[in-house]
Chains A and B, each alone.
Chain A
Amino acid sequence: MKRVVRFDKFFIPAVVISVVAITAGLITFAMRGFNLGLDFSAGLIEEVRIASPAINVKYTGSGNAAIEVAQNEIVVILTGATIENASHQISFDENKTVSSVVDALNKIEGITAETVSSGDVESSRLFADVNSGSTLSGSRDFPIYTTTKTEKPATVDSIRGLLEADFPGVAVKQVGEPAQLTFQVKIPDDGTDPAISETARTKTAAALTKEFGEGNFAITKADFIGAQFSQSLITQVFILILLTLVLIWLYATIRFKWEYALGAIVAIIHDVLIMISFLAWSQIEVVSIIIAAILTILGYSINDTIVVLDRVRENSKNPNLDRHDIKTVMNLSQSEMLTRTIITTMTTMFAVLSLFIFTTGSMKDFALLLMVGMISGAYSTIFISSAVIVAVRGRKEKKGSAVVAKSDSSKKKASKKAKDSEADSSHGDSSNTINVETPSQWK
C-alpha cells in the first residue's frame, strides 16, 4: 500500500498562511492600487527613441522598392515589370559597420544610400521607426536610425519637462538598455479632448522636434486607447471572471456532490486572490494578457482539483475503506494523486519557464504571473480544497453519526459506537479498514 501523507494535519496552518497572504495583498492593493496598463487606462503610450538618421535611402528605379529593417539584417525587395524582381539581404553579421551597409545598399540597382552619421557605427544598432512606412521613393528619404550622443540631455526628467506644459498628467519612464535612449511616454486621455489621439501625437512630436531637432527622434511603438474603450474593457473583465467562476461551479456541481464543488470553487477563488495580491505587490503593468493569465489559471487550477475529486469519488465507492470518514478518504486520494499533481505542475512549469526566459515585456510578466498562479493552484488543490471539503463534510458527518446513534436500539452500544468512531477517526490511521467494535467485556 502506498504511503499516505497526513495532509489533514496541515490544513489549519495552510489556511492560515493563505489568509495572511491574501490579506497582505489586499492591504497592498488598498495602498498602491494596480499599475493599470494601456488597455485599462486611456491615453497614448508611445515608445520614443532619441536617435538620428544614420543612413538615408532613396530609390530612383522604375519599379517598386520595399525595405525591411530587422534585428540582424536589412532586406530590400524590388518588384516591377521593367526590372528584375528580387529580394536583397544585407546581413549585419557580414556588414558590421554603417559604411559597409551603405556600400552594399548602393550596389542594388536603383538604390542610393548615403551615410549621414559616422560610418564606423556598428550596423547592429540600426533600426527603423514606424512613421516611415516601408516603400522607398525617389523624392523622399527613408531614414535608418541609430542612437547617438545628443546635444541636449535625454533623460526621463528632461523629456517629462518638455511635455508637461501640454500634458500635465504625462508619465515618462526609460525602458530597455540605458544606452539606447528609449523612453515610454504615457499621455492620459481624460475625455476632454475628442481628438486627443491626434493632438497627443502631434504635440509630442512638436515638443521633441523643438528640443532635439527635426528628425532626431524615432517612434518605435504607438498605442492609443480612448477613454470609453478602456472603461468598457474593465467592466467586461469583471463580468468575464465572474461568469467563468459561475460556469465552472455549475459544471463541478453537476459532476460531483455540491460540497466537493464548493471545495473546488473556493480553491480557485483562492488562486485568483493570490494572483491579485501578487499583482498589487509587484506592480506589474496590468494589460489584457495579464487578465488572460488569471482566466487561464482558473481553468488550470480547477483541472487539478477535479482530478483529485475524481479520485475521491472513486475511493468513496471503495468498500474496503471507511468511506464515511472523509479525512481518510481525502488523505488517501491526495496521496495517490500527489505524484501526478507534482509532475503536471513541473511539466507546465517547464513550458512557462521557457516563456519567461525568452520573452520580454508583457509576455514575461504574463509568464511570471502564470508561475505564481500554478504554484498557488497546486497548493490550493492539495490543502485548501480538501480543508473545505473536510470541514463541510465533517459537520455533516457529526450530524449523520448522531442520527445513526439514535436509530440504534441499544443506547449503551450506541454511545460506545459514537465514542469509538470519534476516537478512531482522530488517529486517521492509513490502514483503517472496518471499524471493529470491541464488545465491552473485551475492554
Chain B
Amino acid sequence: MSKRFRFLIVLTVLALCFLFLWPSISWYVRTPKEMQQLALSSLEHIKDYSLAMAHADVSQLKELARSDMNGDLPEKFLPFIDSAKKNRKDMGDEIPSQWNVGEFIKSFPSEFELQAEIEGSYRDEILKAKNYYSNSAKLGLDLSGGMSVVVKADLEAAALAQKEAATGQSDAEFRALAMEQAIENLSERVDKFGLSEPVIRKQGEDRIYIEIPGAAQADRISSMIMGKGLLNFRLVDSEATEKFADYYNDNPATTFNSEGELIDTSVIPEDCEALGYYVKDDYGLDERRGYLVVKKEVALDGKHIKSAEVGSDRNGKPQVNFILDGEGAEIFADFTSANVGKNLAIVSDDKIKSNATIRTPITGGQVAIDGFSLDEAQNLQKVLQTAWLNVPLSIESQQVIGASLGEQAISQGIRAIEFGLLAVMIFMLLWYHGAGINAVVAQILNLYMMFSILSAFNLTLTLPSIAGMILTIGMAVDANVIIFERIKEELRLGKDRASAIYSSFKNAFWTIMDSNITTFIAAMFLSQLGSGPIQGFAVSLAIGVISSVFTALFVSHLMFDFNTDVLKRKKMSIGWGIKQ
C-alpha cells in the first residue's frame, strides 16, 4: 500500500470522525440548557411552545402597528423579510426598499399565515436541536441520573382473561397484541409526566425496558407503571367547548399552567373540565386536535365494556361495535335516552380519544360508533380493548440514580481519563524519547476516534465505558511498545532506520492482530451480558481495539515514514543505548 494512499486513508478517517462527532459537540457544547430542555420535551409541548411564541410575536407586531405604522421592524422579524418579498412578488406588488412595520404587515395576506410561518421557524429551531440530540452519543443513567425499569408482562394471566372475551385470535397473535397494548399504555402514562425523551421498548418476548433520563419522580412512576389505566365515557358540553376554543385561541400561552391546570377556572362551567382531544398521526403518535369541555361526572365506566370489534355499517363504512355487560347496558340506556343529540366523549387516561354524537337511545347494550376511517376505527377499538384486556405488569428490575450522583460520576470519569492519559504519555516520552511522541499522538487519536464512533452509532456513554476507554489506552500503548521494541532490536542488529521500520511493522503485524483479536472476542461476549453499564464497557473496549489497531499500524507507520522521507531523518530517537 503506497504511502500517499495510506495518508489519504488516514485523512479520510479523521474527517469522517469529525463529521460523526459534530452532533455530539453541537448538543453538549453549543446548545444552551434552556434549548436542551425544550428539545427534550414531547412533540406536543414543542408545538404548543412554538404556537404560543408565534402568537406573542404577532400580537407584539399588531401593537406596534397600532402605535406607529412606520416604526422600525423589530430584529426578530428580519429573517422573515425574504418570505415577505416573495409574497409581494406573488401578489404582483413592488418590493419596498425600506422595511417598516406597515410594509411588513402588508406583505402577508393574513395574520394567520404570518403566525404559522413564525411558528414554523421556532419549531424548526427546536427540532434541529432535537436532531443533534438523536445523533449524538447519549449519557448513560449513571452519568445523567435517571431511572431504568424492566417490566415483565404476565401474558399468561392476560390470556386467561382474554378467553372470557373470546375474540378468536391465535395464541401467538394474542401475545403480540397484548404486548403492543401494554407498551402503548405505558408510553402514554409515562408521557403524562412530561419527561425528557423516555425510552420504552420491547425486550425479548415478554419484557419491556423503560429508561427515563434525568431526574424524575421515581416512586410516582413506579406506582404508575403497576397501576391500571382509566377508561370512561363523559358527556360533552358543546357550548362551553366552543367558548373555550375561542378563549384558547386568544390566549394560547396563558390558559394552562405548567402542571396542565387551568389558570383561570371561570372560563368553563364548574362541573366540567377541559381535556385534549387526540388523534393518531401518520407516525402513530398522539396529536392533539383541540380541547373539549366535558363533564367531570363519569357517564359510564369502562369496566362495563365486554368486547369491542371493528366492523362495517350498512354502507360498508368502518364502524366500531362494542358490547356492554348487564349493568352497563342499563346505565347506558338511561344516559343515552336523556341526552339524545348531545356528544359523548370516550376518555382514556385524561385524553379524549373519540367524540361521537348520540343519535338514538341505546338500550340493548350493543353500541356502534361510525364516521371515521378504517385506521381511526382500529385505533378506537384498541382504546376500548384496554377495558378488559388487562396485562398485569410486574417490575423485574429497577434502577434509580440521583442526578447529583451522575454529575459526580462524570467528573470522576473525566479526571481518571486525564490522569491515565497523562501518566501513559509521560512514561512513553521518558522511555522512548522521540518515538514517544508517536505513541502520544496515536493515543490522542485513539480517544478521538472512540468518541466519534460512539457518537456515530448514538451509543450510550456510561462510567464503565469511560473505564473501557481508559483501559484501551493502556492496552493500545502495548501495540506501540511491541513495535518500538522490535525497532530497537532491528537497530541493534545494525539495520538502518528505514529498513528497521519496515521490517518491524511487517513482523509485528500478526502479533498485534493476534493479541487484539482475543481481546475483541472477550469484549464481544461481554457485550451480550446484561444491559446498560456492562454493555457500555464492552462496546467501548471493542471500539477501542479497532481504533488502536488502526492507529498503531497505520498512523504510527505513517508518522515514522514522514520523518524518514520528508524530514530526511537518518537516525531514530527511540530510547537509550541504541547505537545507530
State the Cβ distance, B510 to closest chain A Cβ, in Å. Answer: 7
The answer on a CB contact under 8 Å between A247 and B521 is yes
A353 to B423, CA, bound (A): 10
Q: Is B265 an interface residue (CB 8 A)?
A: no
The answer on a CB contact under 8 Å between A133 and B519 is no
What sequence of 0s and 1s flags, for each residue 302-328 of chain B, a beta carbon within 8 Å of any chain A beta carbon?
Answer: 000000000000000000000000000
The answer on a CB contact under 8 Å between B464 and A225 is no
A414 to B525, CA, bound (A): 53
State the Cβ distance, A281 to closest chain B Cβ, in Å. Answer: 23
Q: Is A53 an interface residue (CB 8 A)?
A: no
A438 to B154, CA, bound (A): 85
The answer on a CB contact under 8 Å between A197 and B222 is yes
| Contact residues of A between 216 and 246, Cβ < 8 Å to B | 219-226, 228-229, 233, 236-237, 240, 243-244
The answer on a CB contact under 8 Å between B530 and A233 is yes
Q: Is A282 an interface residue (CB 8 A)?
A: no
Q: Is A370 an interface residue (CB 8 A)?
A: yes
Q: Is B427 an interface residue (CB 8 A)?
A: yes
Q: Which of B223, B254, B400, B467 contacts A130 (CB 8 A)?
A: B400
Q: Which of A62, A132, A359 contacts B412 (CB 8 A)?
A: A359
Complex contacts, A436 vs chain B, CB 8 Å: none
Instruction: Identify whether the interface residues of B are mostly helix, strand, loop, or mixed.
Output: helix
A63 to B41, CA, bound (A): 14
A367 to B419, CA, bound (A): 14
Complex contacts, B56 vs chain A, CB 8 Å: 81-82
The answer on a CB contact under 8 Å between B482 and A307 is yes
Q: Is B373 an interface residue (CB 8 A)?
A: no
| Contact residues of B between 184 and 211, Cβ < 8 Å to A | 193-194
Q: Is A262 an interface residue (CB 8 A)?
A: no
- From B72-80, B159-167, B374-382, B391-399, the one touching the partner chain is B391-399
The answer on a CB contact under 8 Å between A79 and B214 is no
Complex contacts, A135 vs chain B, CB 8 Å: 194, 258
Q: Is A156 an interface residue (CB 8 A)?
A: no
Complex contacts, A383 vs chain B, CB 8 Å: none
Q: Which of A66, A195, A344 contacts B226 (CB 8 A)?
A: A195
Complex contacts, B218 vs chain A, CB 8 Å: 130-131, 219, 222
- From A112-120, A298-306, A327-335, the one touching the partner chain is A298-306
| Contact residues of A between 248 and 305, Cβ < 8 Å to B | 248, 251-252, 255, 288-289, 291-292, 295-296, 298-300, 302-304
- From A68-76, A161-169, A417-425, the one touching the partner chain is A68-76
| Contact residues of B between 144 and 177, Cβ < 8 Å to A | 147, 150, 152
State the Cβ distance, A288 to closest chain B Cβ, in Å. Answer: 5
Q: Which of A220, A244, A295, A311 has the most CB of B within 10 A?
A: A295
Q: Is A358 an interface residue (CB 8 A)?
A: yes
The answer on a CB contact under 8 Å between B478 and A303 is yes
Q: Is A206 an interface residue (CB 8 A)?
A: no
In this complex, how many residues of chain A approach chain B with their Cβ under 8 Å: the count is 101
Q: Is A159 an interface residue (CB 8 A)?
A: no
The answer on a CB contact under 8 Å between B34 and A363 is no
Q: Is A31 an interface residue (CB 8 A)?
A: no
A384 to B515, CA, bound (A): 18
The answer on a CB contact under 8 Å between A87 and B32 is yes
Q: Is A201 an interface residue (CB 8 A)?
A: yes
Whether A87 touches B514, Cβ cut-off 8 Å, given contacts A133-B216, A288-B530, A295-B526, is no
Instruction: Identify whether the interface residues of A are mostly helix, strand, loop, or mixed.
Output: helix
A102 to B395, CA, bound (A): 39
Whether A75 touches B33, Cβ cut-off 8 Å, given contacts A82-B56, A296-B541, is yes
What sequence of 0s and 1s flags, for each residue 501-530 of chain B, a beta carbon within 8 Å of any chain A beta carbon?
Answer: 000000100110011111111110110111
Q: Is B106 an interface residue (CB 8 A)?
A: no
Q: Is B105 an interface residue (CB 8 A)?
A: no
State the Cβ distance, A29 to closest chain B Cβ, in Å. Answer: 22
| Contact residues of B between 269 and 297, Cβ < 8 Å to A | none
With both beta carbons as reference points, the residue of chain B lying nearest to A64 in the complex is identified as B258
- CB-based A-B contact count at 8 angstroms: 297
What sequence of 0s and 1s flags, for each residue 387-420 of chain B, a beta carbon within 8 Å of any chain A beta carbon?
Answer: 0000000111111111111011101110111011
The answer on a CB contact under 8 Å between A347 and B474 is yes
Q: Is A357 an interface residue (CB 8 A)?
A: yes
The answer on a CB contact under 8 Å between A127 and B37 is no
Q: Is B52 an interface residue (CB 8 A)?
A: yes
With both beta carbons as reference points, the residue of chain B lying nearest to A359 in the complex is identified as B412
Q: Which of B55, B223, B416, B529 contacts A355 (CB 8 A)?
A: B416
Q: Which of A59, A87, A133 contacts B34 (CB 8 A)?
A: A87
The answer on a CB contact under 8 Å between B254 and A62 is yes
State the Cβ distance, B473 to closest chain A Cβ, in Å. Answer: 6
A71 to B408, CA, bound (A): 7
Interface magnitude class on chain B: 35 or more
The answer on a CB contact under 8 Å between A306 and B518 is yes
A383 to B49, CA, bound (A): 69
Complex contacts, A129 vs chain B, CB 8 Å: 402
Q: Is A23 an interface residue (CB 8 A)?
A: no
Q: Which of A302, A340, A343, A355 contacts B420 (CB 8 A)?
A: A355
A295 to B542, CA, bound (A): 13
State the Cβ distance, A87 to closest chain B Cβ, in Å. Answer: 4
Q: Is A150 an interface residue (CB 8 A)?
A: no
The answer on a CB contact under 8 Å between A347 and B427 is yes
With both beta carbons as reference points, the residue of chain A lying nearest to B414 in the complex is identified as A358
The answer on a CB contact under 8 Å between B471 and A363 is no
A231 to B401, CA, bound (A): 23
Complex contacts, A358 vs chain B, CB 8 Å: 412, 415-416, 419
Q: Is A4 an interface residue (CB 8 A)?
A: no
State the Cβ distance, A234 to closest chain B Cβ, in Å. Answer: 11
A75 to B427, CA, bound (A): 40
Complex contacts, A314 vs chain B, CB 8 Å: 507
Whether A348 touches B474, Cβ cut-off 8 Å, given contacts A59-B258, A129-B402, A288-B533, is yes
The answer on a CB contact under 8 Å between A198 and B529 is no
Q: Is B238 an interface residue (CB 8 A)?
A: no
The answer on a CB contact under 8 Å between B52 and A81 is yes
The answer on a CB contact under 8 Å between B405 and A221 is yes
Complex contacts, B528 vs chain A, CB 8 Å: 240
With both beta carbons as reference points, the residue of chain B lying nearest to A46 in the complex is identified as B400
Q: Which of B215, B220, B405 has the most CB of A within 10 A?
A: B215
The 5 closest A-B pairs by CB, nearest first: A299-B522, A81-B52, A348-B474, A351-B474, A134-B215
Q: Which residues of A are interface residues toward B (Cβ below 8 A)?
A: 39, 59, 62-66, 68-71, 75, 77-82, 85-87, 127-139, 194-195, 197-198, 201, 205, 219-226, 228-229, 233, 236-237, 240, 243-244, 247-248, 251-252, 255, 288-289, 291-292, 295-296, 298-300, 302-304, 306-307, 310-311, 314, 336, 339-340, 343-344, 346-355, 357-360, 363, 366-367, 370
A-B contact pairs, 13 of them (CB 8 A): A70-B404, A87-B32, A127-B402, A132-B215, A133-B193, A236-B530, A251-B517, A299-B520, A340-B485, A348-B474, A348-B475, A355-B420, A359-B416
Q: Which residues of B are interface residues toward A (Cβ below 8 A)?
A: 32-35, 37-38, 48-49, 51-53, 55-56, 147, 150, 152, 193-194, 214-220, 222-223, 226, 252-254, 257-259, 263, 394-405, 407-409, 411-413, 415-417, 419-420, 423-424, 427-428, 431, 463-464, 467, 470-471, 473-475, 477-478, 481-482, 485, 489, 507, 510-511, 514-523, 525-526, 528-530, 533-534, 537-538, 541
A288-B534, A359-B409 known, 8 other contacts, Cβ within 8 Å: A71-B404, A80-B49, A81-B53, A133-B215, A248-B522, A300-B475, A344-B481, A351-B471
